[in-house]
Amino acid sequence: MSSSKRSCSMYTGEPAKALWISTAAFTVCFAVWTIFAIIGVRIKQDLGLSEAQFGLLVGTPILTGSVVRLVLGIWTGRYGGRLVYTLTMLASALATFLLSYATTYTEMLIAGLGVGLAGGSFAVGVAYVSPFFPPERQGTALGIFGAGNVGAAVTKFAAPFVLIAWGWQTVAEIWALVLAATAIIFWFSTTDDPAFRKRRNRGVVSKSLLQEFAPLKNVQVWRFSLYYFFAFGGFVALSLWLPRYLVGVYGFDIAVAGMVAAAYSIPGSIFRAFGGMLSDRKGARTVMYWMLGASAVATLILSLPAASEGHAFGITPAVFIVTVFVLGFVMSLGKAAVYKHIPAYYPENVGAVGGIVGMMGGLGGFLLPIAFGLLKDMTGLWSSCFLLLFAIVAISLIWMHVSVMRMQRRAHSATATATA
């Protein structure tokens, strides 16, 4: 079979169905996961919450959705992605529906823990989708699946209209019903992934927890986690931080600042599929070099003070927006490149390794906005957040390059020994 025919066959039949239905489900999950970004504003007004209480409310689903990824990834390897994905969506849908009946702050925090399960679906989807595709196509497939991040923009655009018309409780109920319906459709329209079917048919005993966690002893896993902490966590953090930054630095109207943040989120999610394709064609390592190099330049530029603050070399709003969009674009490529590495290096532990990498990325989305605020308070500089991102990028780039050089030296030494 020619390469072009093989390429087309990868996106037809059972693999195509698994990929597109999983991507649609992840889009809905991501929309639910970020629901507090909209309804949290009204809840804050209704309950008279402080800024700290509001921050905890909005961050609770992000935190729990990140931490649970490791567990869900392992369960996917044991019980199959189809079952775990469906149950995860149903559990999150139930919690989101019950949220509409919460009347106290404590009840809303508890419901938020369940809502956060929707974010954990990413680790399940990665482990479920990847076995349907050969290694040379997994980057593209996982890039398409990861584009479900666009669900955050769906909530930002649609939820305000529902909230204004019927209240935040109706938003929670509608989002919950849509997620439950998605879970049912997913269950009845998909099959178990090939890797799980093979293990089940052969009667392979599930790995022990020690075996599942064994790859986490490898420093390489934590290096991948740092990349994703920046590429995904930094992207989510900037999506949350940009409205406050544009209002505080450039005096933008909150509506305009929100639209800019939403516009930043959409291409940054969609181009993840392009990043997966590039990783298949050019190599994930090459894409990572591009991403980290371009991000270093972009964050260094964004670290300059704003022109509105009276500095001679300050950057204007136009320069800021263009540069931050470039940063978001290369971050989207990096998100796909990181996950291209995982099934290639750890084909038997995609669930566990993908879970820990996804967890670290999600924690970045939770911790970085807090760090941005602390740095602003300590230094008085709005641009200090980009200095922090530059430091993370620089460490990642140096660590990656040193590791690549070591691997190449070992490979060259092994080749020389074999030849001798």
- Check whether 406 has a pLDDT greater than 70: yes
Query: The pTM is what?
Result: 0.76
Give the model's pLDDT for residue 19: 93
Which CATH code, of 3.50.50.60, 1.20.120.430, 1.20.1250.20, 1.20.1640.10, is assigned to 215-420? 1.20.1250.20
pLDDT at 180: 97
**324-370, pLDDT tens digit by residue?**
889 989 998 998 889 888 888 887 777 778 878 888 888 898 888 88
Per-residue confidence (pLDDT) for residue 208, from 0 to 100: 63
Residue closest to 273 by CA, chosen among 335, 342, 322: 335
Assign domain 15-196 to a CATH class.
mainly alpha
- 123 HSE (CA, 13 A, CB side): 33
Question: For residue 383, what is the DSSP state?
Answer: T
On the question of pLDDT at 4 being above 50, the answer is: no
Residues 142-172: tens digit of each pLDDT: 888 988 888 877 887 788 888 888 999 999 9
Which two structure tokens, joined as six digits, stand for 380? 């008085």
DSSP for 216-279 reads: GGSHHHHHHHHHHIIIIIIHHHHHHHHHHHHHHHH---HHHHHHHHHHHHHHHHHHHHHHHHHH
Closest CA to 347 of 194, 205, 149: 194
Residue with tokens 């602003």: 376
8 Å CB contact between 137 and 10: yes
**pLDDT mean across residues, the chain:** 85
Residue of higher predicted confidence among 412 and 420: 412
Contacts (Cβ under 8 Å, ≥6 apart) of 331:
230, 231, 232, 234, 235, 268, 291, 295
Question: What integer is the mean pLDDT of 258-265?
Answer: 76
Residue intervals in the chain for CATH 1.20.1250.20: 15-196, 215-420
Highest mean pLDDT among 115-129, 256-270, 354-368: 115-129
